[in-house]
Amino acid sequence: MTEQQKGMLFAFTAYTIWGVFPLFWKLLDHVSSLEILLGRVIWSFVFTTIFIILIGKRKELMADLSYLWHNKRQFYSLMAASFFISINWYIYIWAVTHERVLEASMGYYINPIISVVFGMLFFKEKLSRSTILALVVALLGVLVMTVNYGQVPWASLLLAFSFAVYGVLKKRIVLEATRGLAIETLFILPIAVIYYIYLYSNDSMQFLHEGWQTDVLMMISGILTAIPLILFAKGAQRIPMYLLGFIQYVSPTIGFFLGVFLYKEPFTQVELVAFGCIWTAIAIFSYSSIHQARKRHALQAK
């Protein structure tokens, strides 16, 4: 198996795991979304830290912490990144546990296009005409849902924008995936612990009070957070970005099918038109990405 084939396998597996996450979060729909989020933060930190120690990378983790402490710009960028990924996790958990899997799916369909726009705004990357057209068509799909429901599909937009901002903040911070996750969750860890103390003092904590199945699922959420992130990092190192861009649509597509066929969420003509716009935008965006990648490859070959 070539390195590129390994990269495709790693990336495909990561996005497949992310795609089937609704199956897992539905098992915890009796727990508040905020408690699930903070439990995810705590157990992600615990398991990734243990894993780092077991593979003998403790010194590297301490070196990363020392580097960040002496580079305040990187330190605050990563702190902000941990805040935005926490928002992203919360909105996704909330959407899944409140019968809005389709809305979550739309958010992750839109995200790559928003990320390209952010690349233009923050990194002076050029927007092609095809990308601008894709953005307009995607916004048309959002507008269709907004007019029909009388409100903006804020869950979709928050998911798309929070992950795009996270990507911008992380772009200039080079950290190994596992150690990066440990440090990111470390920033939110004090808030999570304080919140759990608050829940305990008010007799409203469900962890350790709802049954061993809930406790195990809450702890497993930490492992399930780390595994696809590590696989994604391994995949991204081995395959070109345009190929990674294609594979990332595996996750929202799985979410879409789960929402429609398993959870029987409403999918009327309005949703069909809205998603049709999103899928058209993706097709335009993907074609443009492939075309530009081939042009760059041809120029480099000369």
Quick one: pLDDT at residue 210?
A: 83
Nearest-angstrom CA–CA distance, 153 and 274: 11
Quick one: pLDDT at residue 298?
A: 67
Nearest-angstrom CA–CA distance, 212 and 208: 7
What are the pLDDT tens digits along the chain (302 aa)?
Answer: 788 788 889 989 999 999 999 999 999 999 999 999 999 999 999 999 999 999 999 999 999 999 999 998 889 999 998 999 999 999 999 999 999 999 999 888 888 778 777 877 887 767 778 878 888 888 888 888 888 767 788 998 999 999 888 888 877 777 887 888 899 999 999 999 999 899 888 888 888 788 899 999 999 999 898 888 888 878 877 776 666 767 888 899 999 999 999 999 988 888 899 899 989 988 887 787 777 767 766 666 65
Per-residue b or e along 205-220, where b marks 16 or more CB atoms closer than 10 Å to that residue's CB? bbbeeeeeebeebbbb
Domain assignments of the chain as residue spans, ordered by start = 3-301
Quick one: pLDDT at residue 239?
A: 77
CA-to-CA dists, residue 193 to 30, 35, 88, 188, angstroms:
21, 11, 20, 9
Does the pTM surpass 0.85? The reply is yes
Quick one: pLDDT at residue 241?
A: 61
Nearest-angstrom CA–CA distance, 272 and 256: 12
Quick one: pLDDT at residue 110?
A: 85
Place of tokens 């780092």: 52
Quick one: pLDDT at residue 33?
A: 92
